[in-house]
Structure 1
């Protein structure tokens, strides 16, 4: 009897990491030669679940070590409450559930959201990773996206026509620890927009089209020089994930050798326990050198590979690249080239990062930072401060944003000369840097204007060091004015709103004679005068 599976084929499309240029996973796509089995699967949850199992088996036949992305309709999960047969098939294929990402495909209309969330929770409990597919071109409500808290959010390429919307999705992802991917990228211009908007991953015809065999190579355009670093404190580890080569902890040295010789791009193998927790790390060069020595194969081939490994170096997905360098620095110099295993909250390996990727990214970020520094004070400009403001807003942190400037600075330049004025600005900048403690960030936004971003309890000391000091330029006494807006969590939506709240406070401080400090809060009328010739508790707004 003729079966629809006889005409069903599968294609593989790479998912590319934009930070490293490497392939981080393969999406497995059903390609029926006749009929429309996908339309049937949308109406038949059992059929959709069978398609996911067949896609997994198709990838298993290709013997690819890469993590997999499998498509499943959101309605299927809500109806079935999970994918029991897929979990069994993953184990039978010798895979770990966390090597499989389930791409939830729209529509979401008429899908019971509570049932969907319960099914996703059950799949997460089994170890599967979750992605939301087609965001921007589908019908996924923002509230559902937030409730799902996916590991990966896939944007439709049409959203690249609206870079601000892509950046907003990036901010949403940063708040939940997710990665942002763009699918359907076809041109180098789209690639450049995806990069500049902060996407981590991408897939599309530009890199490699879907093919019957997994692509051995992908095309990645040269990185545009205008792309700025993600964060002043360094990019996050999760942006540099590469697939990990995993074997059971009891694997023999012969099995490790076969994996390494068959996969020249693999720099090391992690030996993991039954739960996927790294136990030993086998470095490619050191291992093959031992195995290629005289009697090496005879001595070690049938012995446990763990005896030729080292304790693994592990980090979570949330640290920055700088923090990973601290991990790499611990131990002997002979291990500086070892991959670092990235683990989830349960300690399971979700990928590796390579030192070369981190060093290159950090070097680029410092070059970009240096180009953005004010040449007079060597302090960062407003972009760095406002980006950090947005990060704190997303993280739900309280903060204070202050605007500091020199009173009547034009008179200083006119009377004492521009050289004395420049030296005064440099002196204020140095004082700001000395007074900044903890997570305080200072920036010079031009002329005599400075920004100070601090925790609510970290500003009083900085203000005293600046306002109570005796300032002069060319023998002329000089005073400073400070305006501060105190932002509780959720009191402002972004840095623009914080700056708008700060503007009238600056005007109030400048209207006072001598050193002054005015403080206000978003949404509340009036302001408090902390320093000034006539200090009062609250001035009418």
Structure 2
């Protein structure tokens, strides 16, 4: 007599670390060849528990040493409690409980929550990790999700079309110490969206489809240089340029060897064409290792050195240090110590930068920025924002600089107390941070004042997310005032002039009753009222028509 286990097989799908591109774990998926065992398991806790045991045993037969993810219905856990057979199967397989994550699968409707939480506490006490699966498409209540306190939250890829929700979930995960994963990723755009929204792990057919054998390799889309770095400022690569050791593209290996042995400080040689454009990069250690091998000199000395080189890694002279790191991150890991060629607008080499110099400088920058964070909101102060304003103005970009504060904040503190006032400031800061997208930068310049630097096309969604929200402190409604100045190329020279143009707009916004937003252009008179109404006795200032794509 045949059993349902005779036609049951298991497939393995990798869970990918988006930062390293490596496989972080394997999820084990039941694949019955006939019948709907999973639908039965949803109704039969004993069957579902048996499936979890068989999944662990299937992984043991594959001799995989990767951490495992095993699916269990929430109703099963509430009904069976600690799943003692699963614990025994893990021990028999030679694995440790903390190498196994139990992905708790919906539905949660009609599942007794106290019993579920009690079972999860018992499993966590045994060492198992807990994952909340199907968040976004499932029916897990938010309060229950918080009570579960999972080690991992798995979002459905459909939520990537709502990046604000993913970012909010990442914040929740950060607060609880959980990791955030996105499952069902099928396209490179979804992968990029997951990264941008803050997901740390992902799985889906893009990386590797479920297979009978655990995948040895997975596909992870390369990060496009400039896309990630567009959200980060940093020191210019010009600050780290070193002289480059250059030889013609036709140079022999013997010529390169002579240069390297005569110049111990040179870490590599760039072979350039007649116009100075790098065509090959020769790394010192790899090259000398090839030359010093048996017959190495005889084989290569008189031959073109280009045969022992690699394609050069290049960045533009206007790149930031973060962009260089993006370039280094793409490709073979054994090339992370290679010099990166810095090229001008014609592709000609003007020098090289070394990874060690960049890492050291960026680490110092991060320490300095951390020291400058406002202790109340953990947002940077005005120096970070104004420095970025100057960089964008120097690059000829249109700058949208906004100032925001809380109306009558002293009355808020006097009426509701300073603790409520502090919490209101923190809440406004969080809202600005959540609403920020792309290259938007948010700063807290003290008290209830914030600075926001954004691309003009990002203004409307950011403003709507913050100004349209109901604000209160101590049960009393609170309004906000926002002023924005658009600085087109050539209208101002630095952040000081931008701030001077912003000052009258701040005054105009504060003069309007209720929540308000006024927008003006640097160098042009007047302003436009985007939120709020002027007092009855006041005459509206001549409005400046909004440019296409702004507002």
Give the shorter-chain TM-score range. 0.5 to 0.7
Q: Is the 8 A contact 2:400 2:454 kept in 1?
A: yes
Secondary structure class of the residue paired with 1:507: helix
Residue aligning to 2:497: 497
Report how far residue 238 of structure 1 moved. 2.1
Q: Pick from 521, 538, 541 the counterpart of residue 540 of structure 2.
A: 538
In 2 relative to 1, CA 419–244 (structure 1 residues): closer, same or farther, beyond 3 Å?
Answer: same
Residue aligning to 2:12: none
Paired with 2:290 and 2:394, the residues of 1 have a C-alpha distance of 50
Paired with 1:347 and 1:410, the residues of 2 have a C-alpha distance of 57
| Equivalent residue runs for 1:195-344 within 5 Å | 233-344=233-344
User: 1:246-303 deviations in whole A, cap 9, x for unaligned?
Assistant: 2222222222111111100011111222222222211111111122222222232222
| Equivalent residue runs for 1:304-453 within 5 Å | 304-453=304-453
Report how far residue 447 of structure 1 moved. 0.5
Residue aligning to 2:473: 473
Q: Is the 8 A contact 1:527 1:538 kept in 2?
A: no
Paired with 1:335 and 1:440, the residues of 2 have a C-alpha distance of 33
Paired with 1:540 and 1:260, the residues of 2 have a C-alpha distance of 69
- When Rg is computed on C-alpha atoms for both structures, the one with the higher figure is 2
Residue aligning to 1:509: 509
Paired with 2:309 and 2:542, the residues of 1 have a C-alpha distance of 70
Paired with 2:498 and 2:444, the residues of 1 have a C-alpha distance of 17
In 2 relative to 1, CA 531–537 (structure 1 residues): closer, same or farther, beyond 3 Å?
Answer: farther
Q: Is the 8 A contact 2:518 2:529 kept in 1?
A: yes
Q: Is the 8 A contact 2:534 2:540 kept in 1?
A: no
Residue aligning to 2:527: 527
Gaps of 5+ in 2: 1-230, 544-551
Paired with 2:381 and 2:268, the residues of 1 have a C-alpha distance of 41
Q: Is the 8 A contact 1:440 1:452 kept in 2?
A: yes
In 2 relative to 1, CA 254–527 (structure 1 residues): closer, same or farther, beyond 3 Å?
Answer: closer
Paired with 2:314 and 2:396, the residues of 1 have a C-alpha distance of 28
User: 1:222-246 deviations in whole A, cap 9, x for unaligned?
Assistant: xxxxxxxxx9711122221111112
Report how far residue 368 of structure 1 moved. 1.2
Q: Is the 8 A contact 2:528 2:542 kept in 1?
A: no
In 2 relative to 1, CA 525–249 (structure 1 residues): closer, same or farther, beyond 3 Å?
Answer: closer
Secondary structure class of the residue paired with 1:443: strand
Report how far residue 423 of structure 1 moved. 1.1
Q: Is the 8 A contact 1:232 1:369 kept in 2?
A: no
Residue aligning to 2:39: none
User: 1:88-113 deviations in whole A, cap 9, x for unaligned?
Assistant: xxxxxxxxxxxxxxxxxxxxxxxxxx
Paired with 1:253 and 1:515, the residues of 2 have a C-alpha distance of 71
| Equivalent residue runs for 1:161-200 within 5 Å | none
Secondary structure class of the residue paired with 2:352: strand
Paired with 2:524 and 2:310, the residues of 1 have a C-alpha distance of 59
In 2 relative to 1, CA 337–426 (structure 1 residues): closer, same or farther, beyond 3 Å?
Answer: same
Residue aligning to 2:96: none
Secondary structure class of the residue paired with 1:404: strand
In 2 relative to 1, CA 399–346 (structure 1 residues): closer, same or farther, beyond 3 Å?
Answer: closer
In 2 relative to 1, CA 426–295 (structure 1 residues): closer, same or farther, beyond 3 Å?
Answer: same
In 2 relative to 1, CA 308–516 (structure 1 residues): closer, same or farther, beyond 3 Å?
Answer: same
Residue aligning to 1:194: none
Residue aligning to 1:219: none
C-alpha RMSD of matched pairs (Å): 2.2
Report how far residue 418 of structure 1 moved. 1.5
Report how far residue 384 of structure 1 moved. 1.5
Paired with 1:378 and 1:330, the residues of 2 have a C-alpha distance of 32
In 2 relative to 1, CA 465–282 (structure 1 residues): closer, same or farther, beyond 3 Å?
Answer: same
Paired with 1:378 and 1:371, the residues of 2 have a C-alpha distance of 10
Paired with 1:362 and 1:529, the residues of 2 have a C-alpha distance of 41
Secondary structure class of the residue paired with 1:370: helix
Report how far residue 410 of structure 1 moved. 1.2
In 2 relative to 1, CA 350–526 (structure 1 residues): closer, same or farther, beyond 3 Å?
Answer: closer
In 2 relative to 1, CA 510–284 (structure 1 residues): closer, same or farther, beyond 3 Å?
Answer: same
Report how far residue 504 of structure 1 moved. 2.4
In 2 relative to 1, CA 273–539 (structure 1 residues): closer, same or farther, beyond 3 Å?
Answer: closer
Residue aligning to 2:461: 461
Paired with 1:322 and 1:526, the residues of 2 have a C-alpha distance of 39
What is the TM-score with the length of structure 1 in the denominator?
Answer: 0.54
Secondary structure class of the residue paired with 1:459: helix
Secondary structure class of the residue paired with 2:323: helix
Deviates more, 1:426-435 or 1:272-281: 272-281
Report how far residue 383 of structure 1 moved. 1.3
Report how far residue 381 of structure 1 moved. 0.9
In 2 relative to 1, CA 280–521 (structure 1 residues): closer, same or farther, beyond 3 Å?
Answer: closer
In 2 relative to 1, CA 307–522 (structure 1 residues): closer, same or farther, beyond 3 Å?
Answer: closer
Report how far residue 533 of structure 1 moved. 4.1
In 2 relative to 1, CA 239–523 (structure 1 residues): closer, same or farther, beyond 3 Å?
Answer: closer
Report how far residue 389 of structure 1 moved. 2.0
Number of aligned residues: 311
Report how far residue 443 of structure 1 moved. 0.9
In 2 relative to 1, CA 285–418 (structure 1 residues): closer, same or farther, beyond 3 Å?
Answer: same
What is the TM-score with the length of structure 2 in the denominator?
Answer: 0.53
Paired with 1:299 and 1:398, the residues of 2 have a C-alpha distance of 57
Report how far residue 360 of structure 1 moved. 1.0
User: 1:55-109 deviations in whole A, cap 9, x for unaligned?
Assistant: xxxxxxxxxxxxxxxxxxxxxxxxxxxxxxxxxxxxxxxxxxxxxxxxxxxxxxx
Report how far residue 390 of structure 1 moved. 2.1
Paired with 1:270 and 1:351, the residues of 2 have a C-alpha distance of 10
